[in-house]
């Protein structure tokens, strides 16, 4: 059972539609969900894509896993339950951002398929694009930008994803980036191409569809 107080809560509809927001911005909203091991390059690619999109006049914003845990999810740990709640909260925030018309770039390890499946169900068809940032544990350990793998090796971290905790790779993502072989520029170009193919932005890199409808075109 939920909180009894929830019986007194009703969703307040906006007086502005998604279509109207899209017409103002020149494009619809969508979530690009970057998933992969720590050190695979999720945040690096997401921020580079954000910069590229903004340069083309597309409203975009990165929700980064570490940044979220400084505030919204600072009360959560790294158990499977807490990881699931972390992703649930981010999904709800991302849904609001999409409704506002933004291209939302979410960079989270998000190791469990079930959690990512719930996101896809929450956001609906066309509003959730899963991007697998693929790099081996060995490559991520060699990069180790945050020192997490070194801390795991010393026993300081017991449940690091890919080492002490499993990572379930996407089975049918919209895009796979191989950051062991692709350069950053190539990875960014692949994401931009995905958005162009989906009609979110135009072929010249600028704004695309103005429908704003959650059907893969906005």
Residue 12 in domain: no
Q: Which domain holds residue 141?
A: 17-198
- Report the distance separating Cα 112 and Cα 35, nearest Å: 10
Residue 180 in domain: yes
Give the catalytic positions in this structure: 110
Residue 9 in domain: no
What distance, in Å, lies between the first and last C-alpha atoms of the chain? 36
Residue 8 in domain: no
Q: Are 184 and 45 in contact (CB under 8 A)?
A: yes
For the segment 147-183, what is each residue's pLDDT rounded down to a tens digit? 999 999 998 888 888 888 899 999 999 999 999 999 9
**How many structural domains comprise the chain?**
1
Residue 30 in domain: yes
Residue 211 in domain: no
Contacts of residue 83, defined as CB under 8 A and 6 or more positions apart, other chains included, come to 76, 110, 111, 112, 115
- Report the distance separating Cα 217 and Cα 204, nearest Å: 16
Reported as type and span, the H/E element at residue 53 is helix 42-55
For the segment 89-107, what is each residue's pLDDT rounded down to a tens digit? 999 999 999 999 999 999 9
User: What does pTM read for this prediction?
Assistant: 0.86
- As given in the structure block, the two tokens for residue 46 are 């997401």
| CATH number, domain with residue 155 | 3.40.50.300
């Amino acid at each position: 059972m939920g909180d009894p107080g929830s019986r007194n809560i009703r969703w307040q509809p906006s007086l502005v539609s998604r279509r109207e927001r899209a017409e103002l911005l020149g494009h619809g909203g969508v979530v690009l969900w970057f998933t992969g091991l720590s050190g695979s390059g999720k945040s690096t690619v997401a921020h580079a894509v954000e910069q590229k999109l903004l340069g083309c006049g597309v409203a975009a914003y990165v929700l980064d896993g570490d940044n979220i845990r400084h505030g919204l999810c600072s009360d959560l740990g790294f158990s499977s339950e807490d990881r699931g709640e972390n992703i649930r909260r981010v999904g709800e925030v991302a849904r609001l951002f999409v409704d506002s018309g933004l291209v939302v770039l979410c960079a989270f390890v998000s190791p469990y398929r079930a959690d990512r499946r719930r996101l896809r169900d929450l956001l609906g068809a066309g509003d959730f694009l899963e991007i697998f940032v693929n790099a081996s544990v060995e490559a991520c350990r060699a990069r180790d930008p945050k020192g997490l793998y070194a801390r795991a090796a010393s026993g300081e971290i017991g449940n690091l994803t890919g080492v002490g905790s499993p990572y379930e790779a996407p089975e049918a993502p919209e895009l796979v980036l191989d950051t062991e072989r692709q350069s950053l520029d190539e990875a960014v170009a692949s994401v931009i191409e995905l958005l162009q193919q989906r009609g979110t932005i135009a072929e010249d890199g600028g704004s695309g569809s103005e429908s704003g409808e959650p059907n893969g075109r906005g």
